Amino acid sequence: MLPRVPVQPKSLEAYRPIVGDEVLDEIKSLAEPLQGARVLHINSTAHGGGVAEMLYSLVPLMSSAGLEVEWRLIRGDQDFFTVTKLFHNALQGMEIPITNEMKLKYLNVIEENAADFQGEYDFVMVHDPQPCALIAGLINTPARRGKWIWRCHIDTTYANDEVWEFLVPYIELYDAVVFTKEDYIKTPLKVGVKAFITPSIDPLSPKNIIPEKRVQSDIARRYGVDENRPIMLQVSRFDPWKDPLGLVDCYREVKKTHRDVQLVYLASMADDDPEGWHYYEKTSQYAGNDPDIFLLSNLQGIGNVEVSAFQAMATVVLQKSIREGFGLTVTEAMWKRKPVVGGGVGGILLQVDDGVNGFLVKSVSQAAEKVRLLLDSPSLATRMGEAGHEKVRRNFLTPHHIRNYLRLFRALVG
């Protein structure tokens, strides 16, 4: 059997004061005919990156709505995850030749996982490309009786043709697909139901509860960051799409006029992302030995509380991505009332309203200009932070996400 990820129980009622009665009551009525429905979420990692982050909340909260929900992982070796990271990059538009050998490696590992699959579910939600082809190994088995949904979290608008065409026949085996935005579907898909659903953050998770001031100060001190000087923060995996080098350039631009500014980059090394080390090294070399640049990761003890503390201490949060499926780090920062300077791409466009709760930028110099503006105008930063918080409260919290998934489940079973 595929390994199961244990999750802590959570109660939906605790979210009523945050999201309001309307959302909670709709969840209740949508869930009524689905009581006891067996739901399986499958992805490739329990740690690192946005999907794992969300499943720790979605799984127990969907259970709290009365469904029987499990989260399981596919297994794969290093070579498999190297291939799937190449697929991921190609799906985001990188020109990477996809060889037959890569496809074979992918399909062999997926076949092993299909052989390990047991159980019958009413709904199976398969997240991202890594486990996408699993369904092919389960046709004509009891496992295929339920509704299968492929949930793509990445921006596939500019997907490399070869990898897109390789995956389409597998995607078209599903009963439904979910993308974050309609324009992420590169070519029309022959799938019965298509839904567009944004991801979410959990306002009651340790990642999103702001630690006390004293804890924040301890954390700053532990890593040598001066909390009394301005902090530019980016939280993201070391990945070319997050533009870590552009971020360092932006900081250097700002530093010319704001000598006291510091750059903090927090990264988590995801189990299914073998590129992380390579880009960490690259960024670290590029940053040189500037004492005001802090590149920190889970290996130095950066966990949820530390991420939250730095988000709370930041003066400006950046997400200088070149592609971004959604960008939970943007949502997290907005929830903590921080103005965000983000690359004007993908899911960042759904979150940042330019000039209202942050700024959308297209270049390093534009990013630096907006950071300076925010450093010089604390009242603007506060106003934007408030607007960002409210936008997240109305749209991007876990209960909204559950409501949208339940609407989809109901549509699938008529």
Site for ligand UDP, rule CB under 6 A:
49-50, 53, 207, 235-237, 266-268, 297-298, 302, 307, 326-329, 332
Cβ-based nearer residue to ligand UDP, 113 or 329: 329
* Nearest-10 Cα torsion for 156, 405, 148, 161: -10
Q: Is 312 helix (H, G, I), strand (E, B) or coil?
A: helix
What tokens appear for 299 in the block?
A: 């290996």
Q: Which is nearer to ligand UDP, 251 or 326 (CB)?
A: 326
Minimum distance from CB of 330 to ligand UDP (Å)?
7
Is the Cβ of residue 53 or residue 70 nearer to ligand UDP in the bound state?
Answer: 53
Min dist. Cβ of residue 222 to ligand UDP (A):
15
**Pair 242, 321: CB distance under 8 Å:** yes
**Smallest distance, ligand UDP to C-beta of residue 136, A:** 25
**H or E stretch covering 359:** strand 358-361
Tokens of residue 101, six digits: 């050998």
Q: Please identify, using beta-carbon distances, which residue of 53 and 243 lies nearer to ligand UDP.
A: 53
Nearest to 315 by CA among 384, 363, 396: 384
Shortest distance, position 255 Cβ to ligand UDP, whole Å: 23
Cα torsion angle, 263, 269, 272, 275, sign? positive
The token duo for 297 is 């990761």
Whose Cβ is closer to ligand UDP: residue 74's or residue 340's? 340
Cβ closest to ligand UDP, residue 113 vs residue 236: 236
Q: How far is the CB of 87 from ligand UDP (least distance, A)?
A: 14
Give the residue at shortest CB distance from ligand UDP: 50
The distance of closest approach from Cβ of residue 111 to ligand UDP in the complex, given in angstroms and rounded to an integer, is: 27
Q: Indicate the residue among 236 and 315 with the shorter CB distance to ligand UDP.
A: 236
Instruction: Write down the least CB distance from residue 264 to ligand UDP, Å.
Output: 10
What type of residue is 269? Answer: M
At a CB cut-off of 8 Å and minimum separation 6, what does 341 contact? 316, 317, 318, 319, 320, 358, 359, 361, 367, 370, 371, 374
- Which CB atom, from 347 or from 385, has the smaller least distance to ligand UDP? 347
The whole-angstrom separation of Cα 243 and Cα 260 is 23
Query: Shortest distance, CB of residue 377 to ligand UDP, whole angstroms?
Result: 26
Q: CB 140 → ligand UDP: shortest distance, Å?
A: 34
Contacts of 152 (CB under 8 A, 6+ apart): 128, 129, 177, 178, 179, 180, 184, 325
263 CB-side CA count, 13 A? 30
Q: Least distance (Å) from ligand UDP to the CB of residue 207?
A: 6
Nearer to ligand UDP, 53 or 249 (CB): 53
